[in-house]
A and B are shown apart, each in its own frame.
Chain A
Amino acid sequence: MLRAMLRDLRAHLGRVAMTLAAIVLGVGFVVATWVVSDSAAATVRGGGQRTDVSALVQLERRAADPRRPGIAPEVVTRLAALPGVSRVEGVRSGYAALVGADGKLGTTYWPGTAGTDWDGSQRFELTAGRGPQRAGEVALEYQAAAEAGISVGGRARILLTEGRDDTATVVGLFAYHPSGREFDPAVAYDGDTAARLLRSQDDDPAAVPGFDRVEVSGAAEDALVAAVRGQLGADYEVRSGGELREELARSADSDADVIRKALLTFAAVALMAGVFVIANTFTMLVTQRTRQFALLRAVGARRAQVRRAVLAEAVVLGVVGATVGVALGVGLGLLGMRVLPIVGTVRYAVSPWAILLGYAVGIVVTVVAAYGSARRAARVSPMAALRTDAAVPRRSLVLRTVLGVVAVAGGVAMIALTRAAELDEPARIQAMAGAVLAWVGVLLMAPVLVAGVLRPLARVLGARGGPVTRIALRNAVRDPRRTAATASALMIGLSLVCAFATVGQTLTASLTDEIRTAVPPDAVVVRAAAFGQLDDAARATAAAVPGVGALAVPRLGGAELLPASGKGVEVQFTALDPAALGTALRPRVTAGGSDLRGGVLLDEQRAAEAGLKVGDEVRLRFGAADAAGGSTGAEVRARVAGLHRSSELLRGVVLDQALLPAGVDSYNDSMYVLGGDPGALRAGVERVFAARPDVVVLDREELLDELLAPFQLVLGLVYVLLGAAVVIAVFGVVNTLALSVLERTRELGVFRALGASRPLVRRTVRRESVVISLYGGLLGIGVGVLLGGVMQYVILANPVFDMSVPWSTAGVALAGMALVGVLAALWPARRAARADILAAIATE
């Protein structure tokens, strides 16, 4: 019997082609995830792992004075004299930032703004040219060079500390392999030049800089480490090469794990869409073979045998799909490793776990998806063999609908029970869990929604429209489960795309609103490049620009807010000149006034939490780092002059900079200049900062673009990763249509005999496909936007319905779904149009 079923499977392999494609894609995604994360880890462990460090010497943190001279050269001499030492290398590190073609620092976070001294160790892996040997030569990290548009033979301008800069000929490009955790350098000079040029920003410009760390190599690692420790004493931290390698491997593994988990989440979404596609296919395959099952039962097959036969089919399908999927996944993974920016030699790792997991996922997902159909097939009565219109018994939708309603109601209740004002961690988790529950509920209710939403629509449009629309719509709602399963698969991917789009749009809108509120349209923004800070010189330069009316220099930091009674809370503060507030930088005041001479502005949310009102007195405790690394609290008393809504640029407590105690940690990365003709002002500001690669001049919208860029990047990545789920769902639409067309052979024959032309038949199938796709699309977009509403509520504590609807994404998604409908129908429609009229209407 099993043999009969398998032969059967082979005969209708065409019918399961799309299901196979779904399994292949899902498995491929999982396996590719595994291969990429394993390979990334292996690359860091293998290619990036250095074998030439037996011990690494650094200054103990508490001995590391911010204005330290570093490790003295005589330490290196002493270590070199130790027995068993084959190599000692002092490593320098200092501020050195590569200036790009536009005269400004790059905007990438990595590699950073560090420089070092070239040596022959495994720290450097040349990718082009040679190492620097004398003054006037420099080697660059290859990606930094690519970003700055400089190649070997070119001239590189490098910004150093205290406004110095250096121009040198690029003699080589390198990939960097750290010996421990350190800032990866973008620039390497020869030893003497490095000693002359490189300083840390904290260094005393007058002092001779020492080494940042010392690498020691030798044969017997343990003995060597012990000897080094004995030589140096407690001010130095000495770690063995083994420790370093282990640390690096651990961090590589944990990085790989982060990548793996993130990717697996998306793979799981794709698999979930796959489950719907596979389950739907099996349902249709079983329905089509009702009489065959009845016959098997009539000739003596037990229910369990029929069930096992269907499950065996699923296993075979799963194995075939997993085999192709594993191959695809390995291929994709290896391809992915080529695309990823990886330092040095890429190591590919295809672990047996990846392959085993691929097979497990393929088989388990297929069997789970087919289980319901197998049970239904087993319940076919032997009597069905005698009837022409026999149908597979189906469980009623009542249970599923009830579960769906309960899940939606429960999910909504879970969200409703949390309150924006007190959204702590458990409440956030509860709200998010509620959203997921409601989302699952909608999936469960999908068949009822088809009946409840699509059917009335089909009735209205079908009664009015021509035969194509009428038949297409009626066919689409003919089997609500089938349409629901098809649309659900689409909904899964699409709803998540729309949810993320909604969150992105809301964050964008709220950030845009914050920036546009805070910064006047005519303001010129002076901002530190490459994630740095502005210095006193820059601030003085800005103030001296002719025509400057108002200048806001916000310094941001952390403090403790102490109400008259009760517990203190951590707050952020923004300190600036009272004259600049309301002119160059505008707070959104919700109560009281904004004159900082009369007191401080409190964040309205904090004020509400602490029960503070305008006119109350508050104390602010500022922590200042002292020389010993501890903190001294300086306390400031102030009246609450007003309340405002905290924003990206004016955070937390806004106060007069004169109130800020000396020595308080704060940072300042932007200034806002206002005055006179905006064009002339900007030209003036740009002119004075032309020679400062570390300072960029922007207008308000450019600042906004810069702040929004990371969101766009993340969103783009998320869309790509969710694409797999959508593609799988598209296969599902093709599958449903193809199998439906097969089922309707007879009907199509009558349709053709009565005078439906081939193009008309094609149009009918295509329209049905578009209806199903659009239904899935609308459901996905609707659910997605609501899900996004909850997500932005959880993230921002905005009211749920205050989300910004991503109209453009929704429009594109809907248009995309219409296109998907048309494309998915191509093949099934051709099949339908080719149906042989005679074969279709023949009675026997």
Chain B
Amino acid sequence: MTSFEAAVSAEDLTKRYGTGDAQVTALDAVTVAFGRGELTAIMGPSGSGKSTLMHCLAGLDTPTSGRVWLHGARHGSADRVELSGLRDDALTALRRDRMGFVFQAFNLLPTLTAWENITLPLDLAGRKPDLGFADTVVDAVGLRDRLHHRPSQLSGGQQQRVACARALVSRPDVVFADEPTGALDSRAGAEVLGFLRRSVDELGQTVVMVTHDPVAAGYADRVLFLADGAIVDELRDPSADRVLDRVRGLESAARGRAGVGAGA
């Protein structure tokens, strides 16, 4: 990590919901960069704005103010795209071609087979999948014998692995994972996390993962801690225990700020 090169970056990212008394600030002038070839975890308690941050970074949500850049790797630094101000079609194409997504659940289209789900972003772009790379990915997630099954015929863990494979198969600039293990038992969760880790180590993939699980965060190269819409702490090469310590520290700090009962 001697030369930090950003894959995604944001500057003064602010997101407010509602107006007047009911206004809520989900993100408060966040400036952040996510390193290329790193697995970055975003942690924080419920309502800390971690999902909102990810949605804004991915162009799924529009920030109230601030800017987001996606830095192309393969195409050199000239291929820097600013997301703010892009129209829906351009954002859609960007998501399709240069981002990958893994959501907590309901990731897959129920009518498509595992293989069709994996190649869907390429299909949508009208590109032929790179079969060699697709094979690598499929083997890596261990789904070779399940490719022609429908999502309803797969377990939750298998479904999530299909989602991971889909996120990777188009070799995106960044993969966004929103609580990817939230709906899984610990073993299936470990499989998915292990796979994301390997995609970074072996394929040089950039992954940004939102999670509230210290164990999941333990797989990351770097953990960002969010509270009340701001980045309050950061940890490099964490272990689950160090993450947990940091979370406890933040929670007690939050309780100290807001009085008893907050932070739940």
Contacts and interface: CB of A to CB of B under 8 A. Distances in A.
Interface of A: 466-467, 470-471, 474-475, 478, 746-747, 750-758, 760, 837-838, 841, 843
A755 B95 contact: yes
B93 interface: yes
B120 interface: yes
Contact of A747 (B88, B101, B110): B110
A474 B95 contact: no
Most chain B beta carbons < 10 A, residue from A478, A756, A838: A756
Given A757-B93, A843-B105, A471 B61 contact: no
B79 to A, nearest CB: 18
A291 to B, nearest CB: 16
B204 to A, nearest CB: 22
B9 interface: no
B95 A843 contact: no
B146 to A, nearest CB: 17
Interface stretch (B33-41, B67-75, B123-131): B123-131
Contacts of B112: 470-471, 474
Size bracket of the B interface: 20 to 34
Closest 3 CB pairs of A and B: A755-B96, A474-B111, A467-B123
A629 B179 CA distance: 101
Most chain B beta carbons < 10 A, residue from A466, A474, A753: A753
Nearest to B119: A467
- The SS class assigned to the A binding surface is helix
8 contacts: A467-B123, A470-B123, A475-B111, A750-B107, A754-B95, A754-B166, A755-B97, A843-B179
B60 A753 contact: yes
Contact of B121 (A752, A754, A757): A754
B103 A760 contact: no
A470 B116 contact: yes
B92 interface: yes
Given A757-B93, A758-B88, A843-B179, A751 B125 contact: no
B142 interface: no
Contacts of A752: 92
A843 B107 CA distance: 11
B246 interface: no
A336 to B, nearest CB: 47
Nearest to B123: A467
Given A754-B95, A757-B89, A843-B104, A747 B109 contact: yes
Given A750-B106, A754-B120, A756-B92, 11 more contacts: A466-B126, A467-B120, A471-B111, A471-B112, A747-B110, A750-B108, A753-B95, A754-B96, A754-B121, A837-B60, A838-B55
Contacts of A474: 111-112
Interface in B51-99: 55, 58, 60-61, 88-89, 92-93, 95-97
Contacts of B95: 753-755
Contacts of A756: 92, 96, 124
Contacts of A753: 58, 60, 95, 101, 103
Nearest to A833: B88
B61 to A, nearest CB: 6
A756 B112 CA distance: 15
Contacts of A471: 109, 111-112
Contacts of A757: 88-89, 92-93
A746 B111 contact: no
Nearest to A760: B124
Contacts of B60: 753, 837-838, 841
Contacts of B110: 478, 747
Given A755-B97, A757-B92, A838-B60, A750 B109 contact: yes
A841 B121 contact: no
B192 to A, nearest CB: 16
B103 A751 contact: no
Nearest to B110: A747
Nearest to B92: A757
A471 B179 CA distance: 27
Contacts of B107: 750
A755 B125 contact: yes
Contacts of B238: none
B218 to A, nearest CB: 22
A466 B111 contact: no
Most chain B beta carbons < 10 A, residue from A467, A475, A758, A760: A467
A466 B123 contact: yes
A746 B124 CA distance: 18
A750 B61 contact: no
A716 B245 CA distance: 83
Most chain A beta carbons < 10 A, residue from B60, B93, B104: B60
Most chain B beta carbons < 10 A, residue from A478, A747, A755, A758: A755
A76 to B, nearest CB: 88
Nearest to A761: B92
A482 to B, nearest CB: 14
B106 A755 contact: no
A755 B92 contact: yes
Contacts of A843: 103-105, 179, 182-183
Contacts of B126: 466
Contacts of A475: 111
Contacts of B101: 753-754
A451 to B, nearest CB: 14
A364 B108 CA distance: 42
B70 to A, nearest CB: 14
A478 B124 contact: no
A747 B123 CA distance: 17
A760 B120 CA distance: 13
Contacts of A754: 95-96, 101, 120-121, 124, 166
B120 A841 contact: no
B207 to A, nearest CB: 16
Nearest to B58: A753
Given A467-B120, A756-B124, A750 B92 contact: no
Nearest to A758: B88
Contacts of B61: 838
A104 to B, nearest CB: 66
A634 B105 CA distance: 95
A385 B110 CA distance: 22
Nearest to A463: B116
A475 B109 CA distance: 10
A82 to B, nearest CB: 90
Contacts of A755: 92-93, 95-97, 121, 124-125
Contacts of B96: 754-756
Contacts of B183: 843
A478 B111 contact: yes
Given A475-B111, A838-B61, A747 B92 contact: no
A216 to B, nearest CB: 83
Nearest to A757: B92
Contacts of A837: 60
Nearest to A749: B106
B88 A750 contact: no
Interface string B173-211: 000001100110000000000000000000000000000
A226 B64 CA distance: 101
Contacts of B109: 471, 747, 750-751
Nearest to A473: B111
Nearest to B182: A843
Contacts of B120: 467, 754
A750 B103 contact: yes
Nearest to B51: A842
A758 B60 CA distance: 14
